[in-house]
Structures are given as structure tokens and as C-alpha cells.
Structure 1
Amino acid sequence: MTDHQRAATPAGSNAGEGLDLDEEVHFPPVENGLDYLVSVVEHLQGDSIDRRDLKYAVVHLQAAVECLLKYRLEVEHWSLVFKNPGEAKRSDLEDGSLTSCTMEQTITRLTDIAGVPITDGEKKRLKQLAQLRNQLQHYGRRHDSTVNRFLIESNAAQVLEFLVRFLDAEVMPHMAPPDWGVAEDLYLIREGLKKIRIYVKARLGRIRPQLEPMKSQTVRCWSCRQFAMIVGVENEARCLYCGEQGSSEGMAMSYTLQLVGVEHIVRNSGRAESPECPTCQAKALVRGARTAAAPDSKVNLCFHCGEATAFEPCGEEKDCVTCLL
């Protein structure tokens, strides 16, 4: 039963009278996952979204991911949902006392054993969601930046899109035709996703006039995944969509680690840092950046001065990590 269905049940009513309590509180994995997803789209709709809405959107989205991905793993073989499949007992699965596999193990087993296609970008977003859920649930906030509606809504839309495709391709084919409750939940999820997409598109439209003249200095933000981070302005990089910002040197390092790869970090006296820009000498050069001006082409882009040059993967003036391997 989803939140909208609970709201339709009067308080103190005897809707559950005569039902076995164990049966009443039983949520099979797919029904459970769909229930969480309905909650996510409910918390992310409307103009007035507060901190509580954001928290539960993240917590419930992660719960939905775990339910649905582990269901598909169980379809492959029930022992695969255990942290250590060699020690799996069917009785532990049935009574819920098992120690289940981590999200990273789940993704690896789905791709390597079940043959489920999950792209590197999707894997990264799923892992980022799990990390954000842990930070919000256990610490109440992220340590590195402010959690806001724009970041969470953008990330949620992308994970929701993945989950809708995952449901269609990997979950529903293994189930009987959906009953009325499942069909209604699927409808609410798809409609909610459309509304979230519309909001994301509207916000991008509002900031487009600022982004348009800066395309050659605009890169994809690793937090919200939008091409909205402007670099090379007043010694900082800042995402106009979600607000992620920092010094040019720090943001160049973060961008490289998150979106390019550690092989483009250099070592200087044993210390990892970004390469030096040949134009301004700041240690804020990103080798292999992709800009909004040409997202399919790599360039060497300085996050300090904004100068872009032809992509060269390796510099000779310092020890490149690639050359040290």
C-alpha cells in the first residue's frame, strides 16, 4: 500500500479487520520497491519542497534501488543476494535474517553473472546515491557541499530513468502480468518522473542565457551531471545548476578524479596534483575535459584561466601516473 493509498484510508477504520497481521505487513521485493519509488516522486513534486522531502526522497530512492536490483539478482539465483553466497541458507533468506550483499557486490554480480547491462555512468550514479543516502541518514548532511533541491532532483531523475528501464527490461518479464496495484504504481512513477524532468528542463532553461556565451568554458558537473559548471572565472569553478563550487585547483582535481580518470593526475615530489597550465602556470589543467561547446571531443582545459588547447594525454615535465604504472 503506497502513501497515496494510505491517505485514502480513514484513521481508526477497520480496513484491515479480519486479515492476518503477518500477511498485512508483508511486502514482496518488487511491490516494496515500487512503493518506495511512488514515495520518491511524491516527495519531489510541487514548488515547496523542504529538507524533509529531500531527505526521504534520497533514502527511499536508495531503498527502491536495493529492492529492485536484489530482486533481479535473486531471479538469477537466490544465493547471490547473500554477502557470501557459499554460506547461503535458504532458511535465512525466507526469514530475512541474512547478511545481504553490498550495493557494489550487487552491481558486479548483475553485470558479471546475470549479464544485465549497466553502463559505467549508471554504476557511478548508483554508487553516488548510496553514498549520499549514508551521509544524509547517518550524519544529516553532506560534508563537502550543501544538499539542495536542484542537485537531488537532477540525480533522482537520472536514477529514476535507469530504474524505469530496469523495471521494463529486467524485472517485469520475470513476473506475472501486473495486478491493479502494481499497474497504478507504475503509472504514478512514470507520471512523476515526467514532472521532475519538466522541472529540471525548466531550471536549465532559466540558466541557459548565462551558460550560452561560456560554452567553451562549461563542463559537466560531477554532482548533478548537468553541463552547467563554468570554469576559469575569478579563480574558481561553479555549477550554475546545483551550486557546486570551489577553487580552480581543487575543482580541476575533483573533475579529473570523478569524470576523466586518475591517469591524468601527475605526481610532483610524491604529491598528486593537476598538471600545470602552459598559459597561466596554475596547477589546474584538466587533460581530457569535455566542454558544452564540443561534448564529444576532448581538450586540455585550464580551470584557472579557461584556456583550452588540443588534447594531449601526457606531459613530459612531470611524472605522469600512467608512466609510473
Structure 2
Amino acid sequence: MEHLNADTGPRELKYAVLHLQAAAEVLLKSRLLREHWSLVFSDPARATSEKFSASDFNSCGTDAAVERLKNICGLDFSKKDVAALKDLGKDRNALQHYGLTHSAEAVESRAGAVLDFLLRFLDAELLPLLDAQERDSIKEDMSRVRSGLNTIEAFVVERMNRLRGNELKGTTDSLLPCSVCGQWALAVIQNGAHCHFCGVTESAEALALVFQEFEPGHPANECPRCCNPTLACFAFMDGAGEELYYCFTCQARYKLEELANCGGCGCLWPYEGADDGTAQMLCGDCRRRIEDEELASRW
């Protein structure tokens, strides 16, 4: 917290992230210890009390700790919190080996998300298990951390409010949550999008894969207008929450009912509707192919 609330240069950010990642791992494993000491071993099947007492073992990492807390201890973690922890691990590795690979604003925002999670985790899972003397001994430290988190949150709120009154004014119908900093400041542009909070610019291809929510991991759809595989389905931050198809290359927008699968190749194509409701819809390529085949058969 001291590093984050100092003049946040590359060095301060680096050590803030390193300490925060270590803190997250220790606190998660502290809760595992409350369940059983063997759960902190990288391989619980090889756990022995002698090795545990001597601290002579390899412990599990953050990802494994989260999975064990979910599957064995029955704890509930939101997708947002799990993603924040994973992002912190990536930031830690990048800062350790390559230096600052994202903007200071992005790293501070992501660190603030993990701090928020850890405070909630402490309040729900660890602090209630302490006795009165233990709670009194950490009261001052906890107060400093909570006030520090408020400072980070105030920074994020202040920056977002400034952006809404300037760069983001009138753009709520084309804003998405940034995959780097997590803020709703990713404004779509032709061939991609730019985040006004952290400064990252993403390509159309990368964005289509990130926002392919209906079928995660599935290749993005081909756009009927520009024929690029950058058509994804999601909802913009426009207040209505209506999901639509959007092409990150040419910025074409389609309502869900306006596109249907081609009966020939399966691609999405504007739905024109059949007079009697029985005709099979075909995309332009399939129509031309069938027409060419019929013409060739006449000859």
C-alpha cells in the first residue's frame, strides 16, 4: 500500500505488485491451513507432518489454492475476482522479468481490484477466526490498508469521471470493459478499440476473440459486410444491455434476429425471411456457387 500511495513510478509499481502477489498467495494458503495443513503442499498426496513441521516442501501456487478453496473448502469466488488474481500473477511475472509492460494506470487499477478482493476475503474467511488479542494487534495495519484502498478507488473514480466528461462523452453506446485495466473505457474504433483509461489499443482480431461471449474459445464469426472473422456478440454499455452482433473491423452492427445461419455453409448472414417460411436461407457465396453449378449443368 505504501508503494501504491507513493509517487507511482515504475519502481514503486514493481514492488507494489511483487508484495501484493506474495500477500495474495500467503492469505489464500492461510485459509487452506485452517482446513488442513496438507492442502498447502503442491502435491497433498506426498504430504507428511515431518516435512510440514520442518517447512521442507514445495507449496501450491495461487491458482491451485483458489481451486482447492473452491472444491474442498466450498468457498465461492466470482469470475471477476479469479480474473483479477490471474492478472496480478501476469503483472508480477512481467514486472520481474521485463519491467512495466502496461501503463501505470492499468497496473494500479488491477492492483486495486486484488486489494479489494483480499480485504473482503480477510473479513469473511480469516479475521473472524482470530481471537480478540490477535484482532487488536492488526487493527492499525488493517485501517491503513483500507484507507489506502480508498485512495486507489478515488483515483479510479476521479479519472473515470474526468474521462466521461471529456474523451468518453457521448460514447456510451460504443464502450466495452477493457481486458487490461478492467474499466469501461474501451471505445471501439475502426479495426479495433482504444482504452482511454490505460491507453492500450487492441486489434480487431484480438477483440473479437475476447468478446465472443456466446461461444468462449470458438473462432469469431465472419462479418457479412467486410468478410473478416471479427464479428462477435455482446452488449455495449449503453444502458439498454441489448446484445448484438458487432464487427470490430468495419463497425457493422446487427440485432440478433437480423442474422441467421446460412443453410449451405453455416456462416451468419442477414436474414431476409421466406415468403412461405419454408425456403432455406443462403449467403451470397453459396447462392453464387449454386447458380454456377446450375449454369454448368445446362452446358
TM-score using structure 1 length: 0.74
Give the distance between the partners of 1:248 and 1:211, measured in 2 at CA: 20
Secondary structure of the 1:43 match is: coil
CA RMSD of aligned residues (A): 2.3
Q: CA deviation at 1:179?
A: 4.6
Matched, 1:293 2:238: yes
CA contact (8 A) 2:190 2:248 kept: no
Secondary structure of the 2:167 match is: helix
Secondary structure of the 1:301 match is: strand
Matched, 1:133 2:92: yes
Q: CA deviation at 1:319?
A: 7.3
Question: Which of 17, 36, 44 lines up with 2:4 in the alignment?
Answer: 44
2:255 is aligned to 310
Question: Which of 221, 235, 258 lines up with 1:275 in the alignment?
Answer: 221
Give the distance between the partners of 1:108 and 1:319, measured in 2 at CA: 37
2:191 is aligned to 235
Secondary structure of the 1:58 match is: helix
Q: CA deviation at 1:79?
A: 0.6
2:169 is aligned to 212
CA contact (8 A) 1:275 1:285 kept: yes
How many residues align? The count is: 263
Question: Residues 271-314 of structure 1: CA distance to partner in whole angstroms, max 9, x if unpaired?
Answer: xxx21222333322112x22111474422122123333224798
Report the residue type matching 1:195 in the other structure.
T
Question: Residues 225-276 of structure 1: CA distance to partner in whole angstroms, max 9, x if unpaired?
Answer: 1111111x242311111112132223322443xxx2654633xxxxxxx212
2:60 is aligned to 101
Which ranges in structure 2 are unaligned for 5 or more consecutive residues? 269-299
Matched, 1:201 2:157: yes
Question: Which of 208, 218, 222 lines up with 2:179 in the alignment?
Answer: 222
Q: CA deviation at 1:132?
A: 1.9
Q: CA deviation at 1:73?
A: 0.6
Report the residue type matching 1:110 in the other structure.
L
Secondary structure of the 1:86 match is: helix
Q: CA deviation at 1:124?
A: 1.6
Secondary structure of the 1:213 match is: coil
Question: Residues 13-71 of structure 1: CA distance to partner in whole angstroms, max 9, x if unpaired?
Answer: xxxxxxxxxxxxxxxxxxxxxxxxxxxx211114x311011111111111110010000
Give the distance between the partners of 1:106 and 1:158, measured in 2 at CA: 18
Distance 1:135 1:318, change over 3 A: farther
Give the distance between the partners of 1:314 and 1:196, measured in 2 at CA: 46
Give the distance between the partners of 2:92 and 2:240, measured in 1 at CA: 30
CA contact (8 A) 1:222 1:255 kept: no
Which ranges in structure 1 are unaligned for 5 or more consecutive residues? 1-40, 267-273, 321-325
Secondary structure of the 1:304 match is: coil
Q: CA deviation at 1:131?
A: 2.0
Decide which moves more: 209-218 or 195-204: 209-218
Secondary structure of the 1:309 match is: strand
Q: Percent identity, please.
A: 34
Secondary structure of the 2:194 match is: strand
Give the distance between the partners of 1:261 and 1:44, measured in 2 at CA: 37
Give the distance between the partners of 1:292 and 1:217, measured in 2 at CA: 7
Report the residue type matching 2:123 in the other structure.
D
Secondary structure of the 2:168 match is: helix
CA contact (8 A) 2:232 2:246 kept: yes
Report the residue type matching 1:226 in the other structure.
Q
Give the distance between the partners of 1:116 and 1:248, measured in 2 at CA: 37
1:114 is aligned to 73
Q: CA deviation at 1:315?
A: 4.5
1:265 is aligned to 218
Give the distance between the partners of 1:57 and 1:300, measured in 2 at CA: 40
Question: Residues 67-107 of structure 1: CA distance to partner in whole angstroms, max 9, x if unpaired?
Answer: 10000011011111111111111232233221111222111
